[in-house]
Amino acid sequence: MVDPLAEVIALLRPRAVFSKVVSGAGAWAVRYAEFGQPSFCAVLEGECVLAVEGQEPVMLRSGDFILMPATPGFTLSAVEAGAAAPVLRDPRNKPPVPEGEQGLRHGTPDGPADMRMLGGYFEFDSPDAALLVALLPALLLVRETAALPTLVQLVRQECLATLPGRDLVLGRLVEVLLIEALRSGHHDGAPPGLLRGLADARVAVGLRLMHSAPGHSWTVDALAREAALSRSTFFERFSRAVGQPPMEYLLAWRMALAKRLLNGGELGVAEVAERVGYSSASTFSTAFSRHVGLPPGRYARQA
């Protein structure tokens, strides 16, 4: 059966943009402005404190991996930052020194570093990225996993290389990096969204059915039967776990798929309508226009 998590990542179409080594020594603190793009960091050695807007500060240690699908404003600092005033930086700016092993240094410029991490950000090419990112946790901390450090180093090496096919390889690596990070997290305590829904075995049945056959005429009753729950229990459990009712989630997923198919330019409106579960092109056009703000024909031409 189709894996909803892999499908969402594939539909987001991530592509790597930039990564750098960040180190710190002494008393230091740096403030990064919100920029909304997905970012990650892997602590290579030492410790530091991450303070994300709206959340409790987190102590990061060697081996920790952080993923933020839509990066809010945050502060990184030494464990004993003292009175160090945060220096405002834009995470999209390249470091003022050559990459190499030196990368970007905070605090005391000379001597060994107390902390080193690999930080990076990438972009989603999907026109529906905001909708899909809303299904993922705002911040994911992963600890004690063997695969992530290897994947991060592969991303780092490919970013520095100038080999043919670099962008294609980076895109695939970032997809795998995202999936590994998301499936390695603790889903039971995740906020409402896709991960929490997949952590509930009964809700996961409904999610997988919607993703494996988006063109099927699903109803809450039918999904509840497949999940071996009553209609009311399934509706309540799905809504609480995913953060939206089953039919609302199905509509959003169908519209995201429709956008991808229309962007491809190979199918007409009637064929797209059939693929995503509409009996006629006119019914699909009405639903698409209400959801997207443009008729599907005009959306396809603009794409």
Query: Where is pLDDT greater, at 169 or 204?
Result: 204
For 138-155, the DSSP string reads S-EEE-S-SHHHHHHHHH
pLDDT digits (tens, 9 = 90+) for 48-65: 999 998 888 999 998 888
pTM: 0.74
- pLDDT bracket for residue 98 (50, 70, 90): very low
| Superfamily per CATH, domain 194-302 | Homeodomain-like (1.10.10.60)
Tokens of 144: 């004690």
Helix 147-160 to helix 166-184 angle (10° resolution) is 160
- Start and end residues for every CATH 2.60.120.280 domain found in the chain: 4-184
The closest of 154, 96, 128, 98 to 10, measured between CA atoms, is 128
Q: Where are the beta strands (DSSP E) in the chain?
A: 14-25, 29-32, 39-45, 47-52, 58-61, 65-68, 74-77, 87-89, 104-107, 115-124, 140-142
CB-CB contact of 7 with 1 (8 Å): no
CB-CB contact of 272 with 262 (8 Å): yes
Query: Where is pLDDT greater, at 286 or 137?
Result: 286
pLDDT digits (tens, 9 = 90+) for 192-211: 888 889 889 999 999 999 99
Task: Judge whether residue 94 has pLDDT over 60.
Answer: no
Task: Judge whether residue 82 has pLDDT over 70.
Answer: no
Fold of 4-184: Jelly Rolls (2.60.120)
Query: Where is pLDDT greater, at 60 or 187?
Result: 60
Greatest C-alpha distance within the chain: 69
- pLDDT bracket for residue 97 (50, 70, 90): very low
Tokens of 125: 């090419």
What value does the mean pLDDT of the chain take? 85
- Start and end residues for every CATH 1.10.10.60 domain found in the chain: 194-302
Query: Where is pLDDT greater, at 220 or 89?
Result: 220
pLDDT digits (tens, 9 = 90+) for 104-132: 888 888 889 999 998 888 888 887 787 77
